[in-house]
Amino acid sequence: MNGGAHISQEDLALYAMQTLRGNELDAVRAHLQTCAECRQELNAIASDLTGLALGIEQQPVPTQARQRFMDSIAAEAQPAAVSPAAPVTISSAKTPAKTPWVPWAMAAALAVGTAWMGMKINTLHEQLQRQSLEVVKSTEENVHSQRVLNLLMAPSAQRVTLKASKTPVEPTGHAI
C-alpha cells in the first residue's frame, strides 16, 4: 500500500487476483469498506481481468498437471490459517461479451494497416527519387548558368559591336 489516502492500483490488482496475504490483505479490506473510489477502481480492475481471461483461448489442462495442482491446493488448505477474501462485485454493464472474432479482426486490421504503410513508403520513396533527380538537374543547370555568368563578368571579356557594312539600315549585334 502507498500510505496515502487510497490503495495503489498494483495492490488492488493483487487483491482482485486474491494473492494478498496477512496484514496487506487486512489493510486493503478495511480500506475498501470505507472508500467508494477504491471499490470502484477495484471493480474496474476486476472487469479488466475478466475481459483478459475471456480473451485468452482456453486449453485443456494435462491430467497429471491438474492432479498435482489439486494436490497442492488440498495440502495448502488450512481453514483456520487463511481467511477467505471479500467477494468482488463486478458490474454486469462492464462485462465484455464473448467475441472470439475480435482477435481475428484486430489481426486483419493490422495486416491492412501494414499493407497501406508499405504502399505509402513505396510512394514516398518514388517521390524522393524524382526530387533527387530534379535536384541533380537543377544543380547542373546552375553550374551551366554560373559558367555563362562568369564568362560575361570576366575582366578579360571584351564587348564588341558588329555592324553590317554597305547597307542603308544598320543592323547591329553584340558579342562577348
How far is Cα of residue 16 from the mean position of the Cα atoms in its chain? 28
Cα 119 from Cα 125, distance rounded (Å): 10
Q: Please, which residues have CB within 8 angstroms of residue 17's CB and are 6 or more apart in sequence?
A: 49
Residues 1, 11: contact at Cβ < 8 Å? yes
117 Rama sector, left if φ>0, alpha if ψ -120 to 50, beta otherwise: alpha
* pLDDT tens column, 35-84: 889 899 888 888 888 877 777 777 777 778 878 888 888 887 655 444 55
Q: What is the pTM of this model?
A: 0.33
Domain ranges of the chain: 9-99, 104-163
